[in-house]
Amino acid sequence: MLAPYYLPEIGTPKAQLPTPALVIDLEAMQENIHRMASFFQDKPAKLRPHFKTHKCTVLAHKQLAAGAIGMTCAKLGEAEVLVEAGVRDVLIANQVVDPVKIARLAQLAGQATLIVAVDQADNLRQISAAAREAGSRVGVVVEVDVGLHRCGVEPGPAAVDLARLASGLPGIHFTGVLGYEGHTVLLPDAEQRARQTREAMRALVETAQLIRQAGLPVEIVSGGGTGTYDLTGSFPGVTEVEAGSYLFMDTKYRLLELPFHCALSLVATVVSTPAPGRAIIDAGLKVLTTENGLPEVISPAGTRLAALNEEHGRLEVEPGRTALRVGDRVELIPSHVCTTVNLHDRYYAVRDDRLEAIWSITGRGKSQ
């Protein structure tokens, strides 16, 4: 009989975790949760964190306990995971257009407050028909293209027309508008980021006002990301912000000098030292992503990640530094936490370099 997957005991030192291990620094993460919650405490806008970053229902409940008004997710499958875990207010910041998925959406709306983004009339009518059949009511936000040029209708009359249609359809609860300023959240120049974010939010808020002038109530004006949480969260008329990466941060977001800590790391083991100044670790492209560049080695000092293969990472050690040995542990900060998390089954939550909890990444792979 095969042995069960090895899980370390609580209290195990971080240096003895089975690798590659996706590790949460609990003190850093909890400080991030507190900082973001404190920012929104006295703001008209509130926080609706994005589940796609961490994909863990334990962490979703921690964010809700700190004051978040609900959760945002990217896919219907993620929403199903959240509702099953007892989260009762979920925004799907994406379109659901496949008939089978629309039927699932309508069923799920009978179990929780569920809101989905729409940007086309036919999709609205299909959701309405499915909701009537399921005996449920699906909340919708009209997605507005505020500059990202991904999904969404143009600001202004096109959004008003879609909102008017939504308000008249049975089984639909029109709740407001959504616009994601994804083209601004990672701009390194703070002034440029602020200027373009305000332009994007102005288009969204003015569209919401046009809808109100057409006689329709607008409850939700939703936008925001980690890189713009303070700008969007302070913009008059915005009601909620969908930031996600603040919980963990990564090397890309760290460049913006935001007031959050890097709380997620990947611990790997040296498996080979084939030449002086070179070491190979047991972490490659199947546990780390590279679309935002290579992850950064934070321990030991004087070591950098030079390349990733499927199952291996190649390290280079600076001249004069202590050579790495087989069995040594290496710790890296991901360059993009959202895509890295989706490669793992569990988190190892560590405090004072000892394992405190193991949490399943239950939303992993829920892309349908």
State pLDDT tens for residues 79-129: 999 999 999 999 999 999 999 999 999 999 999 999 999 999 999 999 999
Q: Which residues pair with 206 in a beta bridge?
A: none
Per-residue confidence (pLDDT) for residue 266, from 0 to 100: 98
pLDDT tier at 2 (50, 70, 90 boundaries)?
A: very low
Per-residue confidence (pLDDT) for residue 6, from 0 to 100: 78
Give this prediction's pTM. Answer: 0.97
Instruction: Compute the average pLDDT of residues 304-317.
Output: 98
The domains found in the chain, sorted by start residue, are: 14-22+259-360 (2.40.37.20), 27-247 (3.20.20.10)
Q: What gap in Å lies between CA 61 and CA 71, rounded to an integer?
A: 9
- Mean pLDDT across the chain, nearest whole number? 97
43-46 long-range contacts, CB within 8 A, separation 24+ = 43/233, 43/234, 44/236, 44/238, 44/239, 45/224, 45/232, 45/233, 45/234, 45/235, 45/238, 45/239, 45/240, 45/241, 46/239, 46/240, 46/241
Instruction: Compute the average pLDDT of residues 291-301.
Output: 97
pLDDT at position 3 over 70: no
C-alpha angle 146/209/139, rounded to 5°?
A: 75
pLDDT at position 1 over 60: no
pLDDT above 90 covers a percentage of the chain that reads: 98
